[in-house]
Amino acid sequence: MLDKPLNILVLEDMKSDAELVKRQVLKVAPQVVFTIARNRAEFFEKIDWSVPDVVLADYNLPDINGLEALLHIRKKSPFLPFIFITGILNDEEKVAEAVLNGASGYVLKENLSALPAKLEDVLQKMDAQKTAAMEEERRWREAELTLQKVQAKLFRTADFEGKTEIQQLLTDVLNAIQD
């Protein structure tokens, strides 16, 4: 059970299928706000409003396909969870293409009961990636601070052979870290 509030964008042209998706999501995420896009124009309009926590997308819609939607999302939000919910994606080539282009996974409409577990899995992986990224950022900040302290001590130290070169190396490293 997901206890945090979620904002989910559902790209689905069939109202009944969108309702079935919503029902499955509510089983695992009771605090959710759904935004429904039924076509290309609505999808591009609603994705520009805000970035959702998850995108659940049909693969084949009349004027847009799921892969096109995925590629658009990846330009704006490279790590946003994107799950296909479709009856079409049972072709192994299409599945491979979708995953290689950054989909977080897929659920077949005929097996929609698998959506709650897939959603939990994808969001847990996303949380783990965020935690790892935050830890990496913390380590970089710590390294930068250490280098700044070393640089400050070096500037206060009396002249010695090679001091200028060391100062320049530290400056170059700090500039590289900050970029």
**Cα 71 to Cα 60: distance, rounded to the nearest angstrom:** 15
Chunked into runs of 10 residues, the chain (179 residues) has average pLDDT values of: 91 96 95 96 92 92 91 89 80 65 85 94 89 90 88 86 88 82
Measured between alpha carbons, how far is 132 from 116 in angstroms, rounded to an integer?
24
Q: Which fold, 6-131?
A: Rossmann fold (3.40.50)
Q: How far apart are CA 50 and CA 10, in angstroms?
A: 13
Element (H, E) at 92: helix 92-100
Question: For the chain, how big is the Rg over CA atoms in Å?
Answer: 23
The reported pLDDT for the residue numbered 12 is 96
**pLDDT reported for residue 63:** 94
Phi-psi region of 102 (alpha: psi -120 to 50; beta: other; left: phi over 0): left
Which positions ≥6 away from 2 have C-beta within 8 Å? 28, 29, 31, 119, 120, 123
Q: Which residues pair with 60 in a beta bridge?
A: 65
Burial 79-112 (b: 16+ CB within 10 A, else e): ebbbbbbbeebeeeebbeebeeeebbbbbebeeb
- SS3 assignment for 119-170: HHHHHHHHHHHHHHHHHHHHHHHHHHHHHHHHHHHHHHCCCCCCHHHHHHHH
Please tell me the pTM assigned to this model. Answer: 0.75
